[in-house]
Structure 1
């Protein structure tokens, strides 16, 4: 790979990361220039994404011993990098026209960092690189959901979302450790299926857990309901092409890993299908537009997860791209209505599309795309996914088809409310003119995804589908037959018509079931009962053990050491001191004995000794 092509990939993540970091750190001084700077950086990132995808650029750099950093825009990464960059442009255009609670430099900087982390995630070629993007994305989402941090409800929602996804993210670390133990020393994503023996199953379980948590699939779906406390622009980016799509993308990317494990593919497919159906019913029960869209994100992402489980990579990729366009458009419209009308309640949004027909038309495009009404793109994507499901298991296909029917119902329900006529007086009293966003940036931000939603349906045609399959490296996959197309389209139309006729009438389901659905199946309550409370009780028990057992043991040991020291001081030290004193006294006595000969007449003693030895020598000579 040439140096120029490698520079494209580095710049693809580096430009938004550097710009976002500067804006986030600049503070209120940069508030005035932040929106324009952020949009310019996003446009530059989009151009870089297109160029990198065209060149299939790749680059690698040393990081840790044997664990390099790798980025590549080849294969599936190229189209998704363009999708992420395009969604970022439209969302930042909308944010530039609104008022995100002051601190605009920090807000736009965090949005760019969020997008940069997702770009690192989709272009990563090693698990090490993926983890870097994955972690920054989670931290940025926490800061963005709690952007208005002076409101306790928003900070609590950010904490719930962060802790839930963070707990699931631990699966990636388990997977990395298992991959190293299983012989995948470089942690390359395409080599993870080569992990040896039981380590392969541990790697698969870790990746699946992290992906389901990030994409708000069952049983982790409840955190996405809490994330609706964030600004509308955050919701649009988070739901369309960044954090919620990251887990589904990872499963699509690593479908060879789940297939190699033997059980991973089926587990992932059923998790996606059940989430698509269950959260579709949750969306159908909602009275809050943003909550409806949030539940629909879980449901629509479930189709991507289903595609990953049945190796329908082309359909899953198209579903991801089309959903990014439709959901960003839907959330931007809901944000516009929230700023203009001051409400997100469906009952209070009656007639909103009639009063603002251009915005209402944009929402209609998004809702019909989510409903799967032909010829919009999500209809084509869902049929590609369902064709793959039918090739694996008819029951899986049946659950997915039921989820597609439910998606038509909740989408048409939202349309029914916003297109219902209301009295002019009531409409006029609800408008908050002072909060109206500026029209030009909003018009551009809505027009781009509104054109993309039906435009992406072209990719479902045989020729473009085959080209997309080759681009993402998964083949075009099984194509839906004419009967399957007629069945899914007919059911979607019938369900949509039934939902329109029923409109805002009460459902025939028992009130307890409806209440549970509105409360997101009470998943957060179940998590608190089944996980949070036991962990807290275990922590309390360990704290009590620490206080009552370990702490007392430490104090007892300390007291014993003090008593031992006192005994040593009284008995041992006294004996040692006495011995030392005796040695000293003996030394002093020897010293006094040694000093006695030292009288000052030593020279006389020497002379006498010499004379005596001389006399003795003479005697010996004479005797002989």
Structure 2
């Protein structure tokens, strides 16, 4: 059955590459072709989840490129494929007239294919390759409309931030090899020798937190909102940001092996869930609110991974994927129709476009964690695991759940209020609105909304036990009845407070509100603490290279030229002069030697006589 596995990853990657290169003449066929490919991929994902295939191929000496579908990756491949299909079906309407839709659908399939490789990879080198392709595809998708400079800059910021964190995977690979894990199999990483075990763990944690937009890397997700709404729907739900959380859930044994990594990851998730939830509360831009809520909701998955709650984190991941993709698609439908994403301007949007409004309302109430919707049960699974890490961790998670209810109900309150007298005054701030919702939007919105509402069954006793067996986490704790009641009470209380205060000013200091609205100034801090010192160091090294290294080379070259000129003078004045003097002397000797050669016999006789006389005198004198 390995053919199913190869089809699962080769089809989206191959078809994506082909569609991305499709010319404008065949663009009309691209949306339908992209959706058809996504449908086949979903079928392959379901088949792979049932049959659990595995495959491998030689990669490097002693290393293989391994792929396998086990319990956890079975859940992930179906989730990724289902969300991809829903998003691409929605995009067939939004991109019907886009002249570059071949590039868009191709990149989306490449993006999803890279995520499928990521969740099925069993060795670190293959995972790292897919990780890099996913980052590159996200850069191209965020900057899809690159002719607007702010969108190109946003793509660069998102890519460079995640790319900097991704270096942790390279560090982890090197440390694993140094620690004796030559195969680089993911399940063998906990066997690395100390201290390389700790180095590898730290590298993987940094890479995962960066990819999942956890603090302090969260700000890149705000910039990613410059991409088209279908990109946001896919990136914020089942791919990219979910990849880091998935990796931590996959490598819970590695976190446990170091002892320090589990608590550190759990607190990183809890702090992100709380802090970015407050950031979401302060937003007046709907997509920015949803982006901040993504970081916060992913924080619950990271909290679960740090607490050892693999089943709870998986439930949260699946339920959030359906919920958040539906919310982003609804926000995208309103952006296309009304040309704005500002909450005050979207007042009454749910009443004007009722199907989209109904889907958004159900999704937002699910995001709020209100019972009996899915994320209420999923959060309680996470909090049950967090309670094993201490009361403080549980309290932080519960507070983050209350904040989630606030920002979710705030969004619902805005879009469900009555239409103002002149609603058109706030429209068309982002783009020219069409004043209609594409017909292709309804089916994926309703499917995702239904999934968001009912996936909470995975937290019921029977399905929860099945899921724990599936992902190999049978001993995980389940929430007690009082925990379910407490979280429900907190969610309803926070939702009621948010409903009453949504239209009024926030009862917080203005400076705090500005900081939350600006995503805690995390990007400015990164520029100040990281980017500027690195650029300053680069400029210093460039100056050192120009003045010292290149200067030494130039001085050496000048010295060589001076030596060559001196050697030329010596050659011309001394060596060549000596040669010319010898030649002149030889010429004179030659002239002298020619003089006795007159051709007269008596002169030769006289010369011979003189020569004989000289020889006799020499003999006599020497004796």
Same fold (TM > 0.5): yes
CA RMSD of aligned residues (A): 2.6
Q: Over residues 520-571 of structure 1, what are the superposed CA-to-partner deviations in whole Å (9 max), with x where a residue is unaligned?
A: 0010011111111111111111122122222221111111112222333344
Any gaps of 5 or more consecutive residues in structure 1? 592-624
- The Cα of 1:423 is off from its aligned counterpart by 3.7
- The Cα of 1:102 is off from its aligned counterpart by 2.9
Distance 1:579 1:423 in 2: 106
Residues 463-612 of structure 1: matches in 2 within 5 Å? 463-475=462-474, 477-571=476-570
Distance 1:580 1:130 in 2: 74
Q: Secondary structure at the match of 1:374?
A: coil
Judge conservation of contact 2:345–2:423 (CA < 8 Å) in 1.
no
Q: Which residue of 1 aligns with 2:155?
A: 158
Distance 2:334 2:415 in 1: 10
Distance 1:357 1:19 in 2: 36
Distance 1:530 1:101 in 2: 40
- The Cα of 1:361 is off from its aligned counterpart by 1.3
Residue 89 of structure 2 is aligned to residue 93 of structure 1: yes
Distance 2:528 2:129 in 1: 32
1:337 maps to which of 334, 337, 340: 334
Distance 2:20 2:61 in 1: 32
Q: Which residue of 1 aligns with 2:61?
A: 65
Distance 2:458 2:124 in 1: 30
Q: Which residue of 2 aligns with 1:42?
A: 38
2:78 maps to which of 77, 82, 102: 82
Q: Which residue of 2 aligns with 1:181?
A: 178
Residue 387 of structure 2 is aligned to residue 393 of structure 1: no
- The Cα of 1:430 is off from its aligned counterpart by 5.1
TM-score normalised according to structure 2 size: 0.91
Distance 1:309 1:318 in 2: 15
Q: Secondary structure at the match of 2:64?
A: strand
Distance 1:533 1:51 in 2: 50
Q: Which residue of 1 aligns with 2:594?
A: none
Distance 2:277 2:500 in 1: 19
- The Cα of 1:483 is off from its aligned counterpart by 1.3
Q: Secondary structure at the match of 1:489?
A: helix
Judge conservation of contact 2:386–2:393 (CA < 8 Å) in 1.
yes
Residue 354 of structure 2 is aligned to residue 357 of structure 1: yes
Judge conservation of contact 1:470–1:476 (CA < 8 Å) in 2.
no
- The Cα of 1:435 is off from its aligned counterpart by 5.5
Distance 1:215 1:205 in 2: 15
Q: Which residue of 2 aligns with 1:135?
A: 132
> Against the structure 1 CA distance between its residues 73 and 580, is the aligned structure 2 distance closer, same or farther, given a 3 Å change threshold?
farther
> Against the structure 1 CA distance between its residues 200 and 574, is the aligned structure 2 distance closer, same or farther, given a 3 Å change threshold?
farther
Judge conservation of contact 2:307–2:385 (CA < 8 Å) in 1.
yes
Q: Over residues 57-77 of structure 1, what are the superposed CA-to-partner deviations in whole Å (9 max), with x where a residue is unaligned?
A: 110011222221111111210
Any gaps of 5 or more consecutive residues in structure 2? 591-623
1:51 maps to which of 47, 52, 61: 47
Distance 1:549 1:163 in 2: 30
Q: Which residue of 2 aligns with 1:22?
A: 18
Distance 1:74 1:273 in 2: 28
Q: Which residue of 1 aligns with 2:449?
A: 450
TM-score normalised according to structure 1 size: 0.91
Residue 306 of structure 2 is aligned to residue 319 of structure 1: no
What is the count of residue pairs matched by the alignment? Answer: 594
Q: Which residue of 2 aligns with 1:216?
A: 213
Q: Which residue of 1 aligns with 2:596?
A: none
Judge conservation of contact 2:339–2:434 (CA < 8 Å) in 1.
no
- The Cα of 1:334 is off from its aligned counterpart by 0.4
Distance 1:133 1:361 in 2: 37
Q: Over residues 169-220 of structure 1, what are the superposed CA-to-partner deviations in whole Å (9 max), with x where a residue is unaligned?
A: 1111111111111111111111111111111111011101111110000000
2:268 maps to which of 265, 268, 271: 271
1:414 maps to which of 408, 411, 416: 411
Distance 2:63 2:354 in 1: 54
Distance 1:298 1:324 in 2: 13
Q: Over residues 69-116 of structure 1, what are the superposed CA-to-partner deviations in whole Å (9 max), with x where a residue is unaligned?
A: 111111210110000000000000110011374311110110000000
Distance 1:186 1:337 in 2: 50
- The Cα of 1:29 is off from its aligned counterpart by 2.5
- The Cα of 1:428 is off from its aligned counterpart by 10
